[in-house]
Chain A
Amino acid sequence: MAGHSTYVPRTAFSRWLDERLPIIRMMNDSFTTFPTPRNLNFWYTFGGILTFMLVVQIVTGIVLAMHYVPNAGLAFNSVEGRIMREVNYGWLIRYIHSNGASMFFLAVYIHMFRGLYYGSYKAPREVIWILGVFIYLLMMATAFFGYVLPWGQMSFWGATVITSLFSAIDQVVPHLGTAITQWLWGGFAVDDATLNRFFSLHYLLPFVITGVVGLHVWALHVPGNNNPLGIDVKGPQDTLPFHPYYTVKDAFYLALFVIFFAAFVFYAPNFFGNPDNYTQANPLVTPTDIVPEWYLLPFYAMLRSIPQKLIGVLVLVASLVTLLFIPWLDTSKVRSCRFRPMMKQLFWLFAADCVLLGYCGAQTVDAVRFGIPLLWLARIGTAYYLAFFWVLMPLVGWLERPKKVPDSIAKPVTGNKSAAGVKA
């Protein structure tokens, strides 16, 4: 898509098809000859890993749906009795799916932080970033719906807590929040109707994600990849064809990722799980500690750190909506943090802040560590999270004196031997 096509159909059939549906041309230009910056590092392999994870989740999910029963009376047994015990390899497919969700989020977080570090959201790649944020939000919704399906205690109470967030609207428009909540539930509490619609949506959303991923990749292929130097591609000496260079590199790191993934599936399949979800949902008994899955913990911590219900929900929404504005909040002319000494430090502080918030989210509200109430740590963490984007990012862009940016990709990569590198 970048530059004009180099595809030459070789057979009569491919010529015939090319004039009617140039699909081979499109695949060839996008995934074979596509000029890719030659200096993409390990962190750029997560796009491919995420594509793989999406496929894994959809395939295992479709299989699980063949055996799952979305009924409040039968759901728990259909998972723990039928899928985990009776279906051939059902336990394997279920553990791949449940651990796959964690792997998917792990990969997407690395992918997002990589984009943040190398300034991949900056012009002309704003739309890629925004589409990515939508994918992330859709992933959270999908994961939330999916977590409800086994109908364990955490499923039920997680669904209750999250859907109850909407009742905060009551404080703005009386009764509206309650009305919305009951509409979501299809009743006066999370129950059979809720489970059924969540199952339907859990099946639908991955295909919506697939569509947005298509747009994300399309938008990526207009300007082409950013790269660790954050500078534009100057000419063919700066790029390599996607295949075989990046197909083999992505495949190798994907294999390493799958080894990591398989270690959990086979040797610690319940590592990311919560024991309470192995007890069937009981609307009359709330587990002592309600904890969301790890990938939602930072947001949960932000929500809990605010004592006022409505403001808490607004902060939670703001923390997510903020991501959409990043391309315009960053005022720096330089993309990559490699050349931004101040931003680099603030970035790592931000990464640590997210870990801190995640830690706070996993503890009880009244927990105290080293004499510090975690509630206060979470408040500081929330403040930094929002300030990082809304205050520091615009400010640092003006204050910071970036280091000298290299002239081209080919130079720092191949140095004097650039001519030899191009020839090969």
Chain B
Amino acid sequence: MATATQTTRRDFLYVATGAVGAVGVAFTAWPFIDQMNPTSAVLAMSSMEADIAAIQPGQQVVFKWRGHPLFVRRRTPKEIAEARAVPVSQLIDPLARNANLPDSAPATDANREIKPEWIIVVGVCTHLGCTPTVSTPQSPQGEYGGWLCHCHGSQYDVAGRVRKGPAPQNLAVPPYSFIGPTKIKVG
């Protein structure tokens, strides 16, 4: 009887020691995992301010935001009208993919921008991450007047919505706001 209790007490001690050791290992692991996350310097670069006044209607300027191209395109009234005329039911991806709106917002043209004149999207094809080429009247790319991804032929319209081919989603609209009439803050 005495040996039995002793054994139990001893076993408890060994299990407790092992458990505390395991907890220690788990806590120690965290710094070694967290060190691979973005550094404070990378995080400090995560928001960007840009003056877009110089961009002419029909023109696109590419900024670099969080290591990716950021398309800022000033649309002509004709382009706006075209984009607005497309019913959501015709779209491959019916969701707005706009970080400034709820996830469930539908992909109407109005839900893709803050001001109709300015379409601002992350220039990363939602298929496998290539950068799509902008389409202009002088140099049309694809059938929808927006962008064409040369890697695998995905096509986007002037609202950055996918209209054809392997890409599953509309181009992402980043979190941004207008901090002046022609000044934006992204991120």
Contacts and interface: CB of A to CB of B under 8 A. Distances in A.
Interface in B73-116: none
Interface in B21-50: 30-32, 34-37, 39-42
A92 B31 contact: yes
Interface string A82-94: 1001111110110
Interface residues of A, number: 13
B35 A82 contact: no
B136 to A, nearest CB: 41
Nearest to A62: B32
Contacts of A88: 31, 34-35, 37, 39-40
A63 to B, nearest CB: 6
Contact of A93 (B35, B39, B40, B42): B35
Contacts of B37: 88
Contacts of A172: none
A66 interface: yes
A93 B31 CA distance: 8
A106 interface: no
A161 B42 CA distance: 38
A222 interface: no
A86 B41 contact: yes
Contact of B36 (A59, A66, A85): A66
Nearest to A244: B14
Interface in A210-231: none
A315 to B, nearest CB: 43
Query: Which size class do B's interface residues fall under?
Result: 10 to 19
Contact of A86 (B30, B36, B40): B40
Contacts of B30: 89
B165 to A, nearest CB: 37
Nearest to A85: B40
A88 B39 CA distance: 6
Interface in A14-58: none
B41 A89 contact: no
Contacts of A87: 35, 39
A66 B42 CA distance: 15
Contacts of B34: 88-89
A87 B40 CA distance: 7
Contacts of A90: 35, 39
A62 to B, nearest CB: 9
B28 to A, nearest CB: 10
A86 B39 contact: yes
A88 B30 CA distance: 10
Nearest to A90: B35
Contacts of A67: 35
A251 B68 CA distance: 49
A63 B35 contact: yes
Interface string A58-78: 010001001100000000000
Contacts of A89: 30-32, 34-35
Contacts of A82: 39, 41
A82 B34 CA distance: 15
A63 B39 contact: no
B31 to A, nearest CB: 4
A66, A85, A87 interface centre (most CB from chain B within 10 Å): A87
5 contacts: A85-B40, A88-B39, A88-B40, A89-B30, A93-B35
| Leading 3 A-B pairs by shortest Cβ distance | A89-B31, A86-B39, A88-B34
Given A88-B37, A89-B34, 7 more contacts: A86-B39, A86-B41, A88-B34, A88-B35, A88-B39, A89-B31, A92-B31
